[in-house]
Amino acid sequence: MSELRDLEEQFPQYAEATSPGKTVGGAPSATFAPVQHAIPMTSLDNAMDVDELRAWGDRVQRSLDGQPVRFVCELKIDGLAMSIRYVDGEMVTAATRGDGRVGEDVTANVRTISAIPQHLVDAPPVMEVRGEVYMPRAVFDALNAEAAQNGSRALVNPRNAAAGSLRQKDSSVTARRKLAFWAYQIGDRQGGPQHTTHEETLAYIADFGFPVNPEVTVFDSFDEVVEFCEAAIGRRHDLGYDVDGVVIKVDDLGQRDELGFTSRAPRWAIAFKFPPEERTTTLLDIRVSVGRTGRTTPYAVLEPVFVDGSTVSMATLHNEDQVRIKDVRPGDTVIVRKAGDVIPEVVGPVLSERPANAMPWSFPQHCECPLRSEFVRLDGEADTRCVESKCPFQRDQKIMYWASRGAMDIEGLGERTVVQLTERELVSDIAGLYQLSADDVEGLEGFARPSAEKLVAAIDESRRQLAWRVLTGFGIKHLGPTVAQSLISEYGSVRTVFAASEEELSSVDGIGEVIAQSVARWWQNPVNRDLVDRLEAGGVGLDNVEAPPGDGEGYEQTLTDRAVVITGTVPGYNREEAAAAVVARGGTSPGSVSKKTYALVVGEGAGASKLTKAETLGVPMINADEFEAFLESGQLPSTSN
């Protein structure tokens, strides 16, 4: 990019108005302008297994009265659909799929993708090329290695990373992400040759210089289609980019016209989805982690195994009963898969491979911490707890929670750093963070001078963080981002919230007795009062209700006064983080669905009762993979009901 800019400065006569050197780093637009698609970008119906795939093949054959049908198999690239419009051979707009009818204008960012031509030679007057923008695995791995070095947050998966890269306000960020593209379709077109098959269309697009995936194959029989799909499952990780299935399309464009569309998808194509990948590995041990409230979670320590695109070495086992129900024992060979593509899960043991000496696991009675704290499970409760208030594990978790994205959002303060800080007695609680100097941090594992300064600067920035984030960061029971936001908008500052009586608190909209009591109890504890005093003395603001301009918090208020309920897990977010993301955009995130709910975000492992309730009340639902776009725009996808 800088080479291009230098050249354009030297030779302005060649610097075109549409050059990425011009658009990149331009004034950030408030949002991405809407683009009406000339031809809708429909989605595809899915076949979840070979039977469903064959059923589709039979339907196609039947509808075409037994005419010979050729099928094209293409890999289903796990990226984002993009429609790029050329007028007289010049790229004019690149738009995301959006709701299928209206997408978002990301032209400036797409101009930085080197695989996509800006000019076409001998193009028809109007032509849209559609395809998938994706992030190659190697780029993703390199960015994550870089993130690990700078202590910044890891990208969750290449698809999210590609989506995030395209939604950058500053195109030079997109440029650094080195996105790539596979073209698979022509959208709107005026003029140019009439093709009779999909295969011809792809060859035509390829001639303009668009990358067309080399794996595309045409078959005369459906058995070969099935064979291709089954073979693709085994090859999915050898490709250098993520694929989540195979798209099968009828090759003949005339036959496509005969088949037509349903209300949501073409009848002439289907997506064969890969089954979640299952791998076996050895369960080395079952250990117990202690959370900030003392709640414990048993987890599996696994012989590292590569599953669905990443290496898994740990997986939660939830609680004592789950371990018993799954009957997994240290030493077992276990089946591991990813739930919702992201969260690793132990499915169960392979009993035929159980070692003779494998003993059923029993929950330890004491914590591994130096205090050997006692674990207690009360009758009728699923969780086992650590009841030691001085537990060092709880202390570390409290500090991590304070720093997390759902609370104070201090970049670079992850578990490894917190543990080192407390082990060296540099910090013993959250207030201690505000006494740290770069000298203290320098020399910790992973910290040279620049990264030490960066961490101290990130901590300093958090002094000006919003009051609801401060209140959330204390980790008071029942007080998540939504409640914190209601309390702060009612009372204006952390101190005035604590000054309110239990009665007053419970009269605030959305705050019940349980929450009010929990807040009041927390404040009654002199240790906590002292903590707030010391935070304030350390310069932490307790009454910031508006983000200073230019601050990272300056999210657009896309969800003002809207209630967004989240059920299940959204990849890349924990519960508080997802709620905080809504709150940071002006919304609330209550725990239950009601008539007033604006939308229900449905993640992996979503609760059936919330889904049913939303369905009965006609509350729109949003898939986890639409969450980020939804946050940015506040718009409901029109395809959701």
* Residues tagged active-site: 76
- Contact region for ligand IVH (CB under 6 A) — 76-84, 280-288, 320-328, 544-552? 76-84
- Residue (273 or 329) nearer to ligand IVH, CB: 273
With CB under 6 A as the contact rule, the residue among 37, 76, 256, 454 that binds ligand IVH is 76
Helix ranges, 277-351 (H): 320-326
The tally of CA atoms less than 13 A away on the side-chain side of residue 18 is 13
Does residue 505 interact with ligand IVH by CB under 6 A? no
The residue with tokens 């051979």 is: 89
- Residue (85 or 97) nearer to ligand IVH, CB: 97
Find the shortest distance in angstroms from Cβ 74 to ligand IVH.
Answer: 4
Does residue 81 interact with ligand IVH by CB under 6 A? yes
- Contact region for ligand IVH (CB under 6 A) — 73-81, 476-484, 568-576, 628-636? 73-81
Does residue 135 interact with ligand IVH by CB under 6 A? no
Does residue 83 interact with ligand IVH by CB under 6 A? no
Find the shortest distance in angstroms from Cβ 41 to ligand IVH.
Answer: 7
Distance between CA atoms of residues 33 and 493, nearest Å: 37
CA dist 390 to 370, 404, 426, 527, 541, Å?
Answer: 11, 21, 17, 12, 27
Which residue is nearest to ligand IVH, using beta carbons?
A: 81
Map residues 25-44 to x or -, x wherever contact with ligand IVH holds by CB under 6 A: -----------------xxx
Map residues 92-131 to x or -, x wherever contact with ligand IVH holds by CB under 6 A: -----x----------------------------------
The residue with tokens 């429909």 is: 42
Does residue 202 interact with ligand IVH by CB under 6 A? no
Distance between CA atoms of residues 466 and 546, nearest Å: 7
Spatial CA neighbour of 455 closest among 145, 144, 151, 147: 151
Does residue 289 interact with ligand IVH by CB under 6 A? no
Does residue 269 interact with ligand IVH by CB under 6 A? yes
> Which residues ranging from 41 to 60 are in contact with ligand IVH (CB under 6 A)?
42-44
Please enumerate in sequence order all residues whose Cβ is within 8 A of that of 517, keeping only pairs 6 or more positions apart, or say none: 502
Distance between CA atoms of residues 182 and 442, nearest Å: 45
- Contact region for ligand IVH (CB under 6 A) — 69-77, 232-240, 293-301, 604-612? 69-77
Find the shortest distance in angstroms from Cβ 460 to ligand IVH.
Answer: 42
Q: Please give the structure tokens belonging to residue 300.
A: 């599996």
199 backbone φψ class: left, alpha, beta (φ>0; ψ -120 to 50): alpha
- Contact region for ligand IVH (CB under 6 A) — 141-149, 266-274, 372-380, 475-483? 266-274
Find the shortest distance in angstroms from Cβ 102 to ligand IVH.
Answer: 15
Spatial CA neighbour of 463 closest among 404, 410, 533: 410
- Residue (10 or 261) nearer to ligand IVH, CB: 261
> Which residues ranging from 226 to 255 are in contact with ligand IVH (CB under 6 A)?
247
Does residue 538 interact with ligand IVH by CB under 6 A? no
With CB under 6 A as the contact rule, the residue among 99, 104, 132, 252 that binds ligand IVH is 132
Helix ranges, 538-584 (H): 575-583
Does residue 271 interact with ligand IVH by CB under 6 A? yes
Distance between CA atoms of residues 302 and 112, nearest Å: 41
Find the shortest distance in angstroms from Cβ 77 to ligand IVH.
Answer: 4
- Residue (266 or 586) nearer to ligand IVH, CB: 266
Please enumerate in sequence order all residues whose Cβ is within 8 A of that of 496, keeping only pairs 6 or more positions apart, or say none: none
- Residue (77 or 180) nearer to ligand IVH, CB: 77
With CB under 6 A as the contact rule, the residue among 34, 124, 266, 330 that binds ligand IVH is 266
Does residue 201 interact with ligand IVH by CB under 6 A? no
Q: What is the DSSP letter of 135?
A: -
Distance between CA atoms of residues 490 and 471, nearest Å: 13
Strands 80-87 and 126-134: antiparallel
The tally of CA atoms less than 13 A away on the side-chain side of residue 394 is 19
- Contact region for ligand IVH (CB under 6 A) — 75-83, 505-513, 611-619, 621-629? 75-83
Find the shortest distance in angstroms from Cβ 177 to ligand IVH.
Answer: 18
Q: What stretch of H or E contains 160?
A: helix 158-166
Find the shortest distance in angstroms from Cβ 78 to ligand IVH.
Answer: 7
Q: What stretch of H or E contains 143?
A: helix 137-150
Distance between CA atoms of residues 586 and 152, nearest Å: 26
CA–CA–CA angle 444, 446, 451 (5° rounding): 90
CA dist 160 to 134, 166, 315, 374, 394, Å?
Answer: 9, 10, 22, 41, 32
With CB under 6 A as the rule, give the number of residues binding ligand IVH.
Answer: 15
- Residue (163 or 391) nearer to ligand IVH, CB: 163
Does residue 341 interact with ligand IVH by CB under 6 A? no
Spatial CA neighbour of 179 closest among 230, 221, 140: 140
Spatial CA neighbour of 112 closest among 4, 220, 184: 4
- Residue (77 or 483) nearer to ligand IVH, CB: 77
- Residue (72 or 444) nearer to ligand IVH, CB: 72
Spatial CA neighbour of 79 closest among 186, 216, 181: 181
Find the shortest distance in angstroms from Cβ 80 to ligand IVH.
Answer: 6
Residues lying near ligand IVH in the complex (CB under 6 A) are found at 42-44, 74, 76-77, 81, 97, 132, 184-185, 247, 266, 269, 271
